Each structure stands twice: as structure tokens, then as C-alpha cells.
């Protein structure tokens, strides 16, 4: 297996497709961290490939990998998306030495994560000496808490700016507090609390200039990746819905067919938005931010529509443990909850009022 960081390979998508097909045939433990599945991903070229993604086939490849994983297992999708985000942040804002350290860690199989969300008063970084800093505070919703080997975190400096810090957690995993992660779905992500208080890091852990994490369009447009993971689950629901209609003969009913037609439109339309969002975002296009913000809402609505349609079409059977619709619905219901969704759509609408943000081929 070619594990060179950033190595582009035509094999990513077929390998991931085979892997997730196998996952879909296996029994499933939703409560636990999906260690076996993460290990399987680690053994593929996709683990280190998406450090930098060019528009065109590379962006399409990442999209396909994310949606395939999301279709089979949203928790693994969230973990893998965070891993890719972590690699990309170091590649984008890190020094040559930091990029090398990141590449070596990734090649050894390190799992990366990006933790920005925090409980009040948030994570702070205090300078102790010319090359020594101390972290104080916690992160919440920290996907892979206690499992991630390297976390990219935002921490507030004394002057109020926010510093991106890469923290080696390989010997710090007991700092995770996952007791409070009692949720209906996405349990495998173990997105608990992580307490950094007292942890001392060197200057070589500080990535980029203060406030670099929120640089646009990368910051907002990068959200296309989670829409791709979500899209996979929406596609999974559509597939299970179709299988049910075919297997039970309910597809002969025009009311069921009308509902299924609406699902096909929702899922295919969302796919078109995500496809274009990926290309605009990776091209760093001016309209990428508004486009991705709008895409978030489009995928959210498709997800809500498919979950509702699945419940109505399949009925009570879809609520039983072990039914894939139950599993996807519980995971997706939570994973659709991303930051400030109303404001995201509002910002997108305001941008569209100024100019069409569809891309080169406007109004088409
Ligand atoms: C499974 C899972 C894994 C996660 N992993 C990570 C991770 O690894 N790293 C990380 O950093 N984060 C992570 N998160 C956090 C995630 O990115 C979001 O920040 C979080 O899910 C949003 O929570 P919320 O719904 O409470 O947010 P909110 O953004 O607060 O939204 C709740 C509602 O309040 C509204 N609202 C918010 N602010 C205002 C306002 N000022 N005025 C009016 N209305 C407002 C919104 O529009 C929405 O209707 C994870 C979340 C989940 C569920």
C-alpha cells in the first residue's frame, strides 16, 4: 500500500467501496469507538492521501470517499472527516518542519482530530517562556476524545486572538471525559470533553499566525466535507427505502411511489449541490463560502425529508434496533446538527442577493 502523504491514487474509491460493502454486511456495535473500522481505513491509501486536494478528480475522489464511508457508518465518517481536516490544517498553515512532523505521524497511522467547540470559558494558551506555552481549559464535542493521537485545537491568547495548536495526545488520552457522551446517535464518535489544563507545549506546536484558523474561504467552505458525509447517509436511507418498497411489493402503490419520487429528487438534488460545493471549495472560488453555506441547508433538508419518508413508508419496523434505517436515522438526526444552521442559510441568501453564487455557469 502506498502511504506517501498526499499521494494521489486511482485506487482510493474502489478500495473504500469494497471496505464499506464489507462493513454493511457485518454486525454492528454502535456504542463503542469503531476501532476495527478505523484500523481498516488506516491500512488504505486514503489515510494519508487528502492532505491537499486539487479541484477536479481529487476533489471528486474525496467526495466519493466521504460519502461512501458516511453511507455505511456516520461515526466513522465524522472521525475520518476530522482526520482529513487536521492533516489539511497543518499542510495549509504549518511550517515545513511542522508539515514533515505531521506527515511522519500520519504515515505511522496517527489519527488526527480538530476540536474548536468548547464550554465557557474556553481553552486558553499562556506563554511561560520564549518557547514554552501552557494550555488551560477544555474542549467539548471532541470527536474521538481519548482516541485521537493529534488534536488541532483553537486556544485563546492573552491578547484575545485565537491560536491554532497541534497537540500530541499519544500519552494524554486519560484526560478525556466521555461519561457525558450519552446520546441517541453518533455514539461511536465518543465526542466527549477533553481537559488540556496544565499541558505544556513548545513553540513548534503553534500552527500559523493567530486567528489563521478562521481564514476564509477555507474556514466556511471546508464544511463541504461534512455535507458529503451526511449525503452518504441520506443516500443510504434512499437505498434502504427502495429495497423495502421492492421487497414488500409496496412499490405498486401510487402513494408510496409519489413519496419515493420526492425522495429521489431530494437525494439527487442534494448530491448535485455537494458535487458543485466540493469543486468550488477546493478551487478556493469567491462564491465557495455562500455556496457551501447554502449546501449545508440543502443536505439538511434532504436528510430530514428522507428520515420522515422512511418512517412513514416502512412504519414501526424502521424503529427497531438492528434495522439499518433506525441506525442511520439516529446518527443522521444528530449529525445534521451543525453550528448556526439558520445563520448559515441567511448568510448564503444575502450573498445570493448580491450575485448568483452557482459558479462559472450562472443560473444553470
Ligand atoms: C457527533 C458530533 C461530533 C462533533 N465533533 C466535533 C469536533 O470534533 N470538533 C468540534 O469542534 N465540534 C464538534 N462538534 C460540534 C459541532 O460542530 C457543532 O458545533 C454543534 O453540533 C452545534 O451544536 P448546536 O446545535 O448546539 O449549535 P448551535 O449553533 O448553537 O445551534 C442551535 C440552534 O441555535 C441557533 N442559534 C445559535 N446561535 C444563535 C444566535 N446567536 N441567535 C439566534 N439563534 C442562534 C441555531 O441557528 C440553531 O437553531 C460535533 C457535534 C456532533 C453532534
Q: Which of 117, 146, 194 to mutate to test the pocket of ligand 1 (most atoms within 8 A of CB)?
A: 117
Note whether 338 and 231 are same-domain residues.
Answer: yes
| C-alpha span between 175 and 144 (Å, rounded) | 12
Residues 234 and 340 in one domain: yes
Q: Best mutation site among 77, 183, 184, 337 for ligand 1, i.e. most ligand atoms within 8 A of its Cβ? A: 337
**237 and 315 inside one domain:** yes
Q: How far is the CA of 166 from the centre of ligand 1 (A)?
A: 23
Q: Ligand 1: residues within 6 Å at CB?
A: 78, 82, 113-117, 141-143, 186, 189, 191, 334-335, 337-343
Domain count, the chain: 3
How far does residue 145's CA lie from ligand 1's centre (Å)?
17
Residue 328 lies in a domain: yes
Query: Could you tell which of 155, 219, 338, 345 is best to mutate to test the pocket of ligand 1, judged by most ligand atoms within 8 Å of the CB?
Result: 338
Ligand 1 centroid from CA 122, angstroms? 15
Any domain includes 240: yes
Position 274 in a domain: yes
Q: Are residues 278 and 171 part of one domain?
A: no
Ligand 1 centroid – CA 341 distance (Å): 8
How many alpha carbons fall within 13 Å on the CB side of residue 194? 30
User: Domain check: are 105 and 118 in the same one?
Assistant: no
* Residue burial 29-49, b: 16+ Cβ < 10 Å; e: rest: eeeebbeebbebbbebbbbbb
Minimum-distance ligand 1 atom for the alpha carbon of 335 = 53
Report the nearest atom of ligand 1 relative to the CA of 117.
Answer: 11
Atom of ligand 1 nearest to the CA of 116: 11
Q: Is 284 inside any structural domain?
A: yes
Q: Is 253 a member of any domain?
A: yes
Query: 36 and 85 share a domain?
Result: yes
For residue 82, the ligand 1 atom closest to its alpha carbon is 8
Q: Given its phi and psi angles, is residue 192 left (phi above 0), alpha (psi -120 to 50 degrees) or beta? A: beta
CB 74 within 8 A of CB 328: yes
* Ligand 1 closest atom vs CA 78: 3
Q: In sequence order, which residues have a C-beta less than 8 Å from that of residue 252 and are 6 or more positions away?
A: none
Query: Do 92 and 143 have their domain in common?
Result: no
Residue 363 inside a domain? The answer is no
5 within some domain: no
CA of 336 to the centre of ligand 1 (A): 10
- 79, 182: one domain: no
Ligand 1 centroid – CA 105 distance (Å): 30
Q: pLDDT tens string for the chain (364 positions)?
A: 344 566 656 688 999 999 999 999 887 766 799 999 999 999 999 999 999 999 999 999 999 999 999 999 999 999 999 999 999 999 999 999 999 999 999 999 999 999 999 999 999 999 999 999 999 999 999 999 999 999 999 999 999 999 999 999 999 999 999 999 999 999 999 999 999 999 999 999 999 999 999 999 999 999 999 999 999 999 999 999 999 999 999 999 999 999 999 999 999 999 999 999 999 999 999 899 999 999 999 999 999 999 999 999 999 999 998 899 999 999 999 999 999 999 999 999 999 999 888 877 777 6
CATH of the domain at 143: 2.40.110.10
Q: What is the DSSP letter of 173?
A: G
349 and 222 in a single domain? The answer is: yes
Please tell me whether residues 86 and 118 are part of one structural domain: no
Q: What is the pTM of this model?
A: 0.96
- Residue where a domain stops, chosen among 211, 233, 256: 211
179 lies in some domain: yes
pLDDT at residue number 3: 47
Sequence-ordered strand ranges (E) for the chain = 112-115, 124-129, 132-136, 138-142, 150-156, 162-168, 176-177, 192-195, 199-202, 206-207
The residue whose C-alpha atom lies closest to atom 38 belonging to ligand 1 is 340
Range of the domain at 54: 12-111
Last residue of a domain, one of 111, 133, 157: 111
Among candidate residues 180, 195, 211, the one where a domain is terminated? 211
Distance of CA 42 to the CA centre of its chain: 17
Amino acid at each position: 500500500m502506498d502511504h506517501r502523504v498526499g499521494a494521489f491514487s486511482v485506487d482510493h474509491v474502489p478500495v473504500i467501496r469494497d471496505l464499506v460493502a464489507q462493513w454493511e454486511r457485518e454486525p454492528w456495535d454502535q456504542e463503542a469507538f469503531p476501532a476495527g473500522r478505523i484500523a481498516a481505513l488506516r491500512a488504505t491509501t486514503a489515510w494519508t492521501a487528502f492532505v491537499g486536494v486539487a479541484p477536479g478528480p481529487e476533489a471528486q475522489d474525496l467526495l466519493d470517499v466521504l460519502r461512501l464511508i458516511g453511507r455505511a457508518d456516520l461515526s466513522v465518517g465524522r472521525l475520518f472527516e476530522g482526520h482529513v481536516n487536521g492533516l489539511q490544517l497543518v499542510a495549509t498553515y504549518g511550517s515545513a518542519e511542522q508539515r514533515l512532523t505531521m506527515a511522519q505521524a500520519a504515515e505511522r497511522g496517527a489519527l488526527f482530530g480538530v476540536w474548536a467547540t468548547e464550554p465557557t470559558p474556553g481553552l486558553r494558551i499562556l506563554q511561560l517562556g520564549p518557547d514554552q506555552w501552557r494550555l488551560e481549559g477544555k474542549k467539548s464535542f471532541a470527536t474521538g476524545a481519548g482516541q485521537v493521537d493529534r488534536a488541532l485545537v483553537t486556544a485563546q491568547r492573552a491578547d484575545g486572538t485565537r491560536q491554532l495548536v497541534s497537540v500530541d495526545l499519544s500519552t494524554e488520552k486519560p484526560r478525556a471525559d466521555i461519561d457525558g457522551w450519552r446520546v441517541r446517535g453518533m455514539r461511536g464518535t465518543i465526542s466527549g470533553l477533553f481537559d488540556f489544563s496544565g499541558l505544556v507545549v513548545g513553540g513548534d506546536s503553534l500552527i500559523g499566525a493567530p486567528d489563521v484558523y478562521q481564514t476564509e474561504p477555507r474556514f466556511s467552505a471546508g464544511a463541504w466535507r461534512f455535507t458529503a458525509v451526511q449525503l452518504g447517509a441520506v443516500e443510504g436511507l434512499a437505498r434502504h427505502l427502495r429495497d423495502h418498497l421492492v421487497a414488500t411489493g409496496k412499490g405498486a402503490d401510487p402513494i408510496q411511489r409519489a413519496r419515493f419520487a420526492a425522495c429521489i429528487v431530494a437525494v439527487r438534488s442534494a448530491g448535485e449541490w455537494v458535487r458543485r460545493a466540493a469543486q468550488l471549495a477546493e478551487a478556493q472560488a469567491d462564491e465557495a463560502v455562500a455556496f457551501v453555506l447554502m449546501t449545508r441547508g440543502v443536505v439538511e433538508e434532504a436528510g430530514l425529508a428522507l428520515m420522515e419518508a422512511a418512517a412513514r413508508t416502512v412504519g414501526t419496523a424502521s424503529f427497531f434496533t438492528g434495522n439499518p434505517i433506525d441506525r442511520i436515522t439516529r446518527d443522521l438526526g444528530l449529525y445534521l446538527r451543525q453550528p448556526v444552521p439558520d445563520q448559515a442559510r441567511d448568510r448564503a441568501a444575502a450573498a445570493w442577493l448580491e450575485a448568483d453564487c452557482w459558479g462559472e455557469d450562472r443560473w444553470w
